[in-house]
Amino acid sequence: MAAAAATAAAKGNGGGGGRAGAGDASGTRKKKGPGPLATAYLVIYNVVMTAGWLVIAVGLVRAYLAKGSYHSLYYSIEKPLKFFQTGALLEILHCAIGIVPSSVVLTSFQVMSRVFLIWAVTHSVKEVQSEDSVLLFVIAWTITEIIRYSFYTFSLLNHLPYLIKWARYTLFIVLYPMGVSGELLTIYAALPFVRQAGLYSISLPNKYNFSFDYHAFLILIMISYIPIFPQLYFHMIHQRRKILSHTEEHKKFE
């Protein structure tokens, strides 16, 4: 869902580089983009993020070639993964100050779910770091983010190659389910260790009359994928139809 969510509100946005625009990439809607300073900053931000995820991609390939197997590749890209995924928190700020025309709530939800998986599951439960499911969502995220950030970069510069737009609105068909599977399997793998260690849990009695069972919480999170993932997925499919067919029509009339 973190995978799905991040590209979910991917309504093509010509000038703003935002997550949720009007879904109209050919710019027939009047839109007041960010000012020149904000645009310059956003271009730099998106270029840096594209580069960061490319570093992760290259790191994965190199580690695979060096080790000769695809197991336990997480350790080779752990630091850049944490750095660049956590850095995406800035995107919440971008929405809050208005330089990106997306909903703060939606963006927060998307970024926080990614950050949750990285820190509160994978980092916190060391035993799952060697699971193959981790590789599954890392690959899905990596490809998705490289495309997404380059999409924003090109959009801000008003030179969006059709290939990038196509990739953003097509590859999700495979990458979403792949990412979601990786995430769910990883959380599932973490469960016994969380229960055993009583991780992040507090029980009664205590001074503040409060209790929290992280194990139960993780199960609730997994259950929440059931209503949320299909909605995000079909939203993207709907967006795809709107945006890719629209561009096709424009091409026809040229």
Give residues in contact with another protein (CB under 8 A).
204-211
Do 21 and 31 contact (CB within 8 A), yes or no?
A: yes
Beta-ladder partners of 202 = 212
| Nearest approach, Cβ of residue 206 and another protein (Å) | 7
Do 63 and 166 contact (CB within 8 A), yes or no?
A: no
| C-alpha to C-alpha distance for 171 and 169, rounded to whole angstroms | 6
Smaller CB distance to another protein: residue 171 or 219?
219
Which one of 74, 152, 169, 176 is the catalytic residue? 176
Q: Is 176 a catalytic residue?
A: yes
Do 21 and 101 contact (CB within 8 A), yes or no?
A: yes
For residue 199 the two structure tokens come to 């991780």
CB 18: neighbour CB atoms within 10 A?
Answer: 27
Which one of 78, 131, 145, 183 is the catalytic residue? 183
| Nearest approach, Cβ of residue 11 and another protein (Å) | 20
- Which residues have C-beta within 8 Å of that of residue 112, sequence separation ≥ 6? none
Do 19 and 157 contact (CB within 8 A), yes or no?
A: no
In sequence order, which ranges of 116-131 are alpha helices (DSSP H)?
none
| Nearest approach, Cβ of residue 214 and another protein (Å) | 16
Q: How far is CA 99 from CA 1, 154, 237, in A?
A: 26, 16, 27
| C-alpha to C-alpha distance for 117 and 123, rounded to whole angstroms | 8
Smaller CB distance to another protein: residue 207 or 251?
207
Smaller CB distance to another protein: residue 211 or 245?
211
For residue 53 the two structure tokens come to 């995820």
Q: Is 254 a catalytic residue?
A: no
Smaller CB distance to another protein: residue 65 or 204?
204
| Nearest approach, Cβ of residue 207 and another protein (Å) | 6
Smaller CB distance to another protein: residue 75 or 212?
212
The count of residues in the chain is: 254
| Nearest approach, Cβ of residue 212 and another protein (Å) | 10
User: Catalytic residues, which ones?
Assistant: 176, 183
